[in-house]
Amino acid sequence: MEKVKQKRNATVSRENILMAAMAEFSEHGYNGARIDRIVKRAAVSKNLAYHYFDSKEDLFLQVMERMYARMRQHHSDLKIQGMSPVDGMKQLVRHTYAHFVEYPEVISLLNTENLHKAVHIKGSKRILELYDPLTQVIGDLLNRGVTDGVFRKGVDPMQLYITISGLGYFYLSNQFTLGTVFRTELVSSEQLKVREEHIIDVVLGYLRP
């Protein structure tokens, strides 16, 4: 029983450190993040943090792996595969967009890693393995759509996913500047829904044969 309790406490402590690190990196970027602030947020000692994570770089990589895994969970591959091509594409758009809305720290983390030219995630086999099935799922969706006569031929699954992500990512990452120049609260519940439907219309319009 004591060993089970210790294991449970270790799992909780490690998770607290990881979540504290995600908040710290998203707020301050990789260069600006500090281990001292992370352990303070997590209410653990620095020694314990280094027991679970070898270095700041290791901690950041594991934060990124967690973030990418969570993004992939939002795509619901199995559910999409059981839908009609049009409904499946709508679901893919909604889930991709919803993840950016629900977890705004994703945008900051991606911006940080792009500033570093993806140097940290390049060493992660896990992230690459997570995304190989996604292009297969999208490719299957597109092929079924072509067969049913609702999608045009020749669409690249990777390019399509980048477009879907970009239509939501850009809107949210630039919400303050765009909101200011257009005098609109872009992240109000009403405007978020308007944007979601717009992205769906754009994507389905592009796919129309």
**What pLDDT shows up at residue 95?**
93
What's the pLDDT score for residue 72?
86
Torsion of Cα atoms, 166 then 172 then 173 then 176, to 10°: 140
pLDDT of residue 53: 95
Q: What is the pLDDT along the chain (209 residues), one digit of tens a residue?
A: 544 444 556 788 999 999 999 999 999 999 999 999 999 999 999 999 999 999 999 999 999 999 999 888 877 676 888 899 999 999 999 999 999 999 999 999 999 999 999 999 998 999 988 888 889 999 999 999 999 999 999 999 999 999 999 999 999 999 999 999 999 999 999 999 999 999 999 999 999 99
Two tokens, residue 191: 């405007």
Domain that holds residue 163: 61-207
Tell me how many domains the chain contains: 2
Assess whether 132 and 186 both reside in one domain. yes
Do 46 and 86 lie in one domain? The reply is no
pLDDT confidence of residue 10? 72
- Give yes or no: residues 69 and 169 share one domain: yes
| Claim to verify: residue 16 and residue 98 sit in the same structural domain | no
CATH number at residue 9: 1.10.10.60
Q: Give Cα 33 to chain centroid, integer Å.
A: 20
> What CATH number is associated with residue 103?
1.10.357.10
DSSP structural state of residue 190:
H
